[in-house]
Amino acid sequence: MKFRAKTNSKNKFETNWDVIETYLSRFKPNTLLEVEIKKLEKKNSDPMRAYYYSQILPPLLEATGYERYEGEIVHNTLKGLFFENHKNKEWRTHKDERGLWRNVPHVFAKKSDIPISVKQQFIAFVERAGVKYGAEYDPK
């Protein structure tokens, strides 16, 4: 079980103990547990990822009639199309017998090995697709 907690002004542990007790109720009494406490680290988002998901993808979804919650499906389809015939064989995608994209690389993941220039090409590809369907983008 993972959960977040904080310390108060007296350095006492504050959390929702009801949730923890409910989780612990599945164990037998006197069960030994290993507990790890570590300081929460701030997660930094890739600026290109933030730009893509806030400025590029939403106008495309709106122009094509997709809802915001369907954005990840549209994003995966666009990745499949972009990397389908890519010159780098490691990033090439293909469709399986059910028509689903396979071997789709992660463009904006923290451990992504895709260079920034290819990420920029992908964003431009999505922007062109959006313009094709009538999406309006703010000029940079």
In a domain, 78, yes or no: yes
Mean pLDDT of the chain: 87
Token pair listed for 55: 């400025």
For residue 140, is pLDDT > 70? no
Counted domains in the chain: 1
What's the pLDDT score for residue 3? 82
In a domain, 81, yes or no: yes
102 forms beta bridges with: 94
What's the pLDDT score for residue 61? 95
Phi, psi (rounded to 5 degrees) for 31? -75, 135
In a domain, 97, yes or no: yes
For residue 55, is pLDDT > 90? yes
Q: Please answer whether residues 130 and 78 qualify as being in contact, where contact means their C-beta atoms are separated by less than 8 angstroms.
A: no
Mean pLDDT value of segment 6-34: 91
Q: Please answer whether residues 107 and 125 qualify as being in contact, where contact means their C-beta atoms are separated by less than 8 angstroms.
A: no
In a domain, 104, yes or no: yes
Worst-scoring range by mean pLDDT, 15-29, 35-49, 65-79, 108-122? 35-49
Q: Which domain holds residue 118?
A: 47-132
Q: Please answer whether residues 56 and 126 qualify as being in contact, where contact means their C-beta atoms are separated by less than 8 angstroms.
A: yes
Calculate what percentage of the chain has a pLDDT beyond 70.
99
In a domain, 121, yes or no: yes
Q: To 10 degrees, the CA torsion angle through 65, 71, 77, 78?
A: 90
For the stretch 68-116, pLDDT in tens is: 999 999 998 898 888 887 888 777 777 777 777 677 788 888 878 888 9
User: Which amino acid, 124?
Assistant: A
In a domain, 18, yes or no: no
- How far is residue 5 from each of residues 9, 12, 13, 19, 28, measured CA to CA in Å? 14, 10, 7, 12, 25
Residue pointed to by tokens 């106008």 = 59
Token pair listed for 20: 């923890």
Confirm whether pTM is higher than 0.75: no
